Amino acid sequence: MFHQVFLDYSFNSLEPYIDTLTMETHYLKHHATYTKNFNEIVKKIPAFHDKSAEYILSHIGEAPPELREGLRNQGGGYLAHNLYFSSLSPHDGGIPEGMLASKINEDFGSFDEMKKQLSAAANTVFGSGYAWLVLDGDGHIVVEKTANQDLPIMAGNPNMLLPIDVWEHAYYLKHKNLRADYVEAVFNVIDWNKVAERLEVAIRL
């Protein structure tokens, strides 16, 4: 049984960067639905009953063919939102520190250059999807984008450090069609400590 990640902040605490109604709708409706649907599909696949979401999403090909699309969309939605919501914090994360900061400087030249590339990726996902920071197979932090509820782990990269959700449901109530305004705003509530923890785990693997 998969559960939505526990939020250690309240729905209104990301104001004015992410508005309360968007947070409530996003977590209580969209994410709750992906979670419920993912659980229902996994229930039909005994081989996945004791497996993690990460395992399942990197072994979709082992599921019965008629359930694969559902796993990809609902499971992808489940895990991507757990990562997204747990990457946010009202305690202005500011900018990365320590090893994460060094790694970003090494791989992008500066925090500002990484922000520029990640924002550009987020702003150019056509339709719905995500922009990501991932640790690639060579040990570099790189920017990626995925469509719909596809995740880097489905393409073989489990080292997902940070997703930026650019589905319209993530910003439309406040920013309407202005996705770039949302992307700029979201940088004010990214919890870089969480990203740093994921980087440490990824490097140890």
E strand or H helix that includes residue 43: helix 32-43
Residue 201 CB, nearest approach to Mn ion (Å):
23
Residue 169 Cβ, how far from Mn ion at the closest point, in Å? 5
| Binding interface with Mn ion (CB under 5 A) | 165, 167, 170
Q: Which is nearer to Mn ion, 63 or 189 (CB)?
A: 189
Q: How far is the CB of 147 from Mn ion (least distance, A)?
A: 13
Q: If residue 131 lies in a helix (H) or strand (E), which one and from where to where?
A: strand 129-135
**Residue 138 burial (C-beta neighbours within 10 Å; 0-12, 13-18, 19+):** exposed
When the beta carbons of 83 and 142 are compared against Mn ion, the nearer one is: 83
CA-to-CA separations, 15 to 11, 22, 24, 199, in angstroms, rounded: 9, 10, 12, 27
State in angstroms the smallest separation of the CB of 80 from Mn ion. Answer: 7
Number of residue whose CB is nearest Mn ion: 165
Name the percent of the chain in helix, strand, coil, to the closest 5. 55, 10, 35
CB of 65 to Mn ion, least distance (A): 27
User: By C-beta, is 170 or 186 nearer to Mn ion?
Assistant: 170
The span from the CA of 57 to the CA of 199, in Å, is: 20
User: Of 167 and 182, which has the nearer Cβ to Mn ion?
Assistant: 167
